[in-house]
Structure 1
Amino acid sequence: MSNPCIICVAITGSLPTKANNPAVPITVSEQVESTHEAFEAGATIVHAHVRNDDQTPSSDPEKFARLKEGLQKHCPGMIIQFSTGGRSGAGQTRGGMLPLRPDMASLSVGSNNFPTRVYENPPDLVEWLASEMLAYGVKPEIEAFDLSHILKAKEMADRGLLAGTPYVQFVMGVKNAMPVDRDVFDYYIHTVQRLFGKDAPWCAAGIGQNQLTLNEWAIAAGGHARTGLEDNVRLDRDRLAPSNAALVRRVVEICERNSRPVATWQEARRILVLPQPVDAHEGAAA
């Protein structure tokens, strides 16, 4: 294969703490430093949450603003994707950072079970988040925890609530949600290509020990890959991941084994139809 693979690094999330792995970046400065190392290792999208000083999740737009400023300074050209996930806030507070105009934001378009609760994404909130992304020129990444979420994205696109071709990410391995199942994974790909076209880009994320499996499946199948300490804090059963960059380098190795070049930030922006920032250095690391 010659199509470049976009690597997304989910640096922090809402759940892992330094008690789980000391490498989890919590403060804005830690997040910028960790992302910069991952950027140099090959990641071209950063999926970002912010935290309070006590490590609990936050939706504070001021924290997101400081993070965005630091990332643009130290990782020029990298695609910045903010999370609108439900663990960090409730209702419209989940989209309070969208006026900052990040390149992308996650968008869960339906509800599903999580390990200990229901991950609620009611239709009115989903449509409000989508409308805010349209208003501020933010490209959504559709978080598909279930097959119905892919079809919901098609329905929303047909109604003009999503601009352009949706970028769908399959999330597998969350306890009580969709397990890691190869037949389902293949049908997800089939469904995206049937609804959005053979060339529609897609990504996959696996949780915990499933991260490596989904990285391998996605890269071999021509999709894009997500890694990072948000989803998985270990390299293997016996070793904690020393950094987000270490997990990125593992994905780069899988790309090499599958003859997939790793996308530069310029290529990633072209694939996802995102503008090329005029102030980014053309020679910046990808």
Structure 2
Amino acid sequence: MRKAEKVIVTTAVTGSVHVPSQSPHLPLSARAVAESALGAVAAGSAVVHLHARQPDGRPTADPEVFEEIVRTVTERTDAVINITTGGASSMTMEERLAAPLRLRPELASMNMGSMNFVYAGIADKVSSWRHDWEKPYVLNTYARPFVNTFESIEHTLRTLGASGTRFEYECYDIGHLYSLAHFVDAGLAEPPLLIQGVFGVLGGIGADHANLEHMVHIADKLFGDDYLFSAFAAGRDQMSFATHSAWLGGHVRVGLEDSLWAGKGRLAETNAQQVEKIRTAVEDLGRQIATPAEAREMLALRGAGTAAR
């Protein structure tokens, strides 16, 4: 792992997993997502990882919505923009790539394989639904996998990568590291690699801290010093896994995409709350928070103000 004194904080602002009935604080409209991202940046986040939603909270791949979010954030901060290529399992690959291909962000997420990505359990925890689309949406994940074939990965690396976009390689299991190694060997994924270890999603590797250390061990064997590591766990394990990643010399990701909580039994009201919490933990470990400019240098990004507007 390539270690640095300073820690890159990524904030995943809204995602496509959680639904409005779970929390009144989940940002939904383009304006709300942008404002929540700005708050996270002010709290110390160098990178904002973006999904988009319709006003009723339904995930959308509409480039116009993404453009509104990105324009607001880039006009008021120098934060690194990271746009999802995952979207939601209900979206086609063409839909998932529409916004990043138009906006050409410095970073884009890349799920390193097809997988069961199940959050149907949300239906067991919600007693009152705000919208009729929500329950069928979460239940559908029990029957429908998230698909990202090697062909799709290669297509994205070639097309989006040609614009200078680099990638946050989301690895939900150890096999995803070997998939990434395949694309490195093929010359399609270039170091320094940003590997985002994802834990606690049903269908992927579990939120066991031994799994985090094992993932780093295998990544060290495959990539040596050619990668930066970041980690998060879904739900209640979010902060402990981010702290563990920082303790190992890695970086962190927080945000309402990954967890709706600010503590046991206490909903987070903003993304900034989670940034502030992990910032305190990181600084207690004796490490500093990276600025957007420092994150760009570590990740070999092309520079601020280069995303399309």
**TM-score normalised by length of structure 1:** 0.92
Residue of structure 1 in register with 2:104 after alignment: 101
Give, in angstroms, the shift of residue 38 of structure 1: 0.7
Aligned partner letter, 1:201:
L
- SS at 1:81 equivalent: strand
Q: Distance between the aligned counterparts of 1:2 and 1:256, measured in 2?
A: 14
Q: Deviations over 1:116-136 (max 9, x none)?
A: 242221221121111122211
Q: Which amino acid aligns with 1:30?
A: A
Deviations 1:186-220 (A, max 9, x none): 12112222222236211101100010121121011
Aligned counterpart, 2:59: 57
Q: Report what 2:125 is aligned to.
A: none
1:144-155 superposed matches below 5 A: 144-155=171-182
Q: Which moved more, 1:111-120 or 1:241-250?
A: 111-120
Q: 1:107 to 1:199 in 2, by over 3 A?
A: closer
Q: Is the 8 A contact 2:16 2:87 kept in 1?
A: no
Residues 241/152 of structure 1: CA separation in 2 closer, same or farther (3 Å cut): same
Partner of 1:165: 192
Q: Assess if the C-alpha contact under 8 Å between 1:7 and 1:227 holds in 2.
A: yes
* Whole-angstrom CA distance in 2 between matches of 1:176 and 1:197: 28
One of 10, 13, 22 as aligned partner of 1:11:
13
Farther-moved stretch of structure 1 (66-75 vs 112-121): 112-121
Q: Name the counterpart of 1:220.
A: 247
Partner residue of 1:46? Answer: 48
1:25 aligns with: 27
Contact persistence 1:85–1:106 (CA under 8 A): yes
Partners of 2:293 and 2:220 in 1: CA distance: 24
Residue 110 of structure 2 corresponds to residue 83 of structure 1: no
Q: Percent identity?
A: 31
Deviation by residue 1:130-167 (Cα, 9 ceiling, x = unmatched): 11222111111111011111111111012121233321
Equivalent position of 2:115 in the other structure? 112
Q: Which amino acid aligns with 1:65?
A: E
Q: Report the Cα offset of residue 278 of structure 1.
A: 6.3
In structure 2, relative to structure 1, the CA distance for the partners of 1:89 and 1:2 (3 Å cut) is closer
Q: Structure 2: how far apart are the matches of 1:111 and 1:118?
A: 7
Equivalent AA in structure 1 for residue 268 of structure 2: A
Kept after mapping to 1: 8 A contact 2:81/2:107 = yes
Task: Name structure 1 gaps, 5 residues minimum.
Answer: 280-286
2:296 is equivalent to residue 269 of structure 1: yes
Tell me if 1:124 matches 2:151: yes
Contact 2:8/2:252 (<8 A) preserved: yes
The within-5 A match list for 1:189-228 is: 189-198=216-225, 200-228=227-255
Identify the residue that residue 282 of structure 1 maps to in structure 2: none
Distance 1:234 1:278 in 2: 33
Does the aligned pair in 2 maintain the 1:157–1:166 contact within 8 Å?
no
Superposition deviation, residue 86 in structure 1: 4.6
Whichever residue aligns with residue 64 of structure 1, its letter is F
Report the Cα distance in structure 1 between the residues aligned to 2:114 and 2:303, rounded to whole angstroms.
34
SS at match of 1:30: helix
The range that moved more, 209-218 or 88-97, is: 88-97
Amino acid at match of 1:80: I
TM-score, normalised with respect to structure 2: 0.86
Residue number among 262, 265, 268 corresponding to 1:235 in the alignment: 262
Please state which structure has a larger fraction of its residues in helix: 2
